[in-house]
Structure 1
Amino acid sequence: MKRPGPLLTLLAGLVLGLFLLTLNATTGTSRTTNASSSYEERSPSPTPTRADASPEPTRTPPPDADYAGRTDDDSAAIAVSVRDGKAIAYFCDGRAKESWLRGDVEDDGTLRLTGGQGATLDGTLREGKRIRGTVDVAGTHQAFTADKAKKPSGLYRATATVRSAKIDAGWIVLKDGTQVGVLTRDGEPAPAPRIDPETGAVTVDGQQLTARPATP
């Protein structure tokens, strides 16, 4: 019997080499795929963003305006001036009782004002047209309504020294032209003289003063 020739032996070795090369390539691809899959499983998922998250609404303070009115029992008048989210109010009965109050106006229109000797005012600005609330002054508790004022209606004040006396006076001019005011002379209250609402001119003890719109 003849032995296989060198050519046959070479072919057999070549076939075996191709088989081993193919097997190695397949095993390497499998390992790469498994490693990639394992990395993806370990990687944290990105945190989803909330597309429906809405920004905070813009807060708008109440518009600047003046308000004037009377207590429900018609025994006193009250005026409120609002500027830049601040408010000043004046309560007086036109004879001797009065109080100046100050405080903030919240974005929802609520007011909490305070004055001397424990005076307080609690109110709500409604649709920018009127203020409805209560005021506590000198032991009395009264409800009031103050409608939006149009010049010359509103709140006025004058301070000066006349004949060595310290003068501090406040006026509320209502929409029908009625004036309610108190003038204190060295701390002693009395009914205030009338002012010219167009110019603010007023005469006190023979001296002419100018009452100006009172604002916070």
Structure 2
Amino acid sequence: MAGNSPRGRPVMKRSGPLFTLLAGLLLAVFMLSLNAMTGTKSTSSYQEEPPAATVSPSPRPERSTPPPSPSPSTSPLPNADYAGRTDDNSSAVAVSLRDGKAIAYFCDGRNKESWLKGDVKDDGTMKLTGKQGAELNGKLKEGKRIRGTVDLGGTRYGFTADKALKPSGLYRATASVRGAKIDGGWIVLPGGKQVGILNRDGKPQAAPRIDPETGAVTVDGQQLTARPVTP
């Protein structure tokens, strides 16, 4: 049984609305908290992780084909004459080069001689051949000299022939003098010394001296002209 206030009004009429207001506030707070929790959970539940970054492989650098190595350059073969002596100083050797071909003369100035000829390769090597198996093997070095060997009569002679400037070089004269066949070969060495053989009907002997400026030479009272030899 509800009591009355001093003024005679029932107490329930004051507490009823207040209770209702408090209950509504609590319910609102509960609902707000629930919505906040639900929204946070929902948001966190459906949040997708960002896709992992795809790393594209770096393109391999293209391998460029290196340019071909240049072949070793070779100087063109000179058109020149070379003259020198054998290593034992017993004989002389002269070589004349023209357009990749060579002619050579080996001579001891007494009775041993040989004419040889052949081709010269681009690298300066040469193999020249003559009568009775004579052979010259040589190599042109920087266009300045020829170093090689001459095989003649079972003997091998090493030689060095330097580039010769006129009047040095190789000379030859052929003629008929008083019914005899004359064939002479001369090597004029740098410095002017001459080495040569004169064949009279195939019989060798020391050759008379020539005038290197004109090639003039006297054989048995007859003047001949020895001319420079080229292939």
Q: Give the TM-score, by structure 2 length.
A: 0.69
Instruction: Provide closer, same or farther for how the CA distance between residues 150 and 185 of structure 1 changes in structure 2, counting only shifts above 3 A.
Output: same
* Counterpart position of 1:83: 98
Say whether 1:191 aligns with 2:206.
yes
Deviation at 1:61, TM superposition (A): 3.9
Partner of 2:141 in structure 1? 126
Given that 1:93 and 1:180 are in contact with CA atoms closer than 8 Å, whether structure 2 keeps it comes out as yes
Residue 92 (structure 1) aligns with: 107
Matches of 1:96 and 1:64 in 2, distance apart?
A: 30
AA of the residue aligned to 2:179: S
The one of 173, 179, 190 aligned to 2:188: 173
Task: Tell me which of 201, 206, 211 is aligned to 2:216.
Answer: 201
Instruction: Give 5+ residue unaligned stretches, structure 1.
Output: 1-49
1:117 lines up with 2:127 in the alignment: no
Deviations 1:119-174 (A, max 9, x none): 00000000000000000112211100000000000000000111111111000001
Contact 2:77 2:100 in 1 (8 A): yes
- Ranges of 4+ aligned residues in structure 1 off by more than 2 Å: 50-61
Larger radius of gyration: 2
| Aligned pair partner of 1:151 in 158, 163, 166 | 166
1:61–1:85 contact (8 Å) kept in structure 2: no
What does residue 79 of structure 2 align with?
64
Name the aligned partner's letter for residue 123 of structure 1. G
Q: Which of 128, 133, 151 in structure 2 is aligned with 1:136?
A: 151
TM-superposed CA distance for 1:187, in Å, is 0.5
Range 76-85 or range 50-59, more displaced: 50-59
How many residues were matched structurally? 167
Are the counterparts in 2 of residues 61 and 106 from structure 1 also a CA contact under 8 Å? no
Instruction: Name the counterpart of 1:47.
Output: none
Closer/same/farther in 2, CA of residues 75 and 124 from structure 1, 3 Å limit: same
* Local SS of the residue matching 1:132: strand
Matched residue type, 1:166: K
- Is 1:102 paired with 2:117? yes
Percent of aligned positions that are identical: 75
Q: Distance between the aligned counterparts of 1:179 and 1:214, measured in 2?
A: 15
CA contact (8 A) 1:61 1:84 kept: no
CA shift, 1:77, in A, is 0.2
Distance in 2, matches of 1:84 and 1:90, equals 18
Seen in structure 2, the aligned counterparts of structure 1 residues 164 and 91 have a Cα distance that, compared at 3 Å, is same
8 A contact 1:63–1:82 mirrored in 2: yes
RMSD across aligned positions (CA): 1.7
Partner SS, residue 213 of structure 2: coil
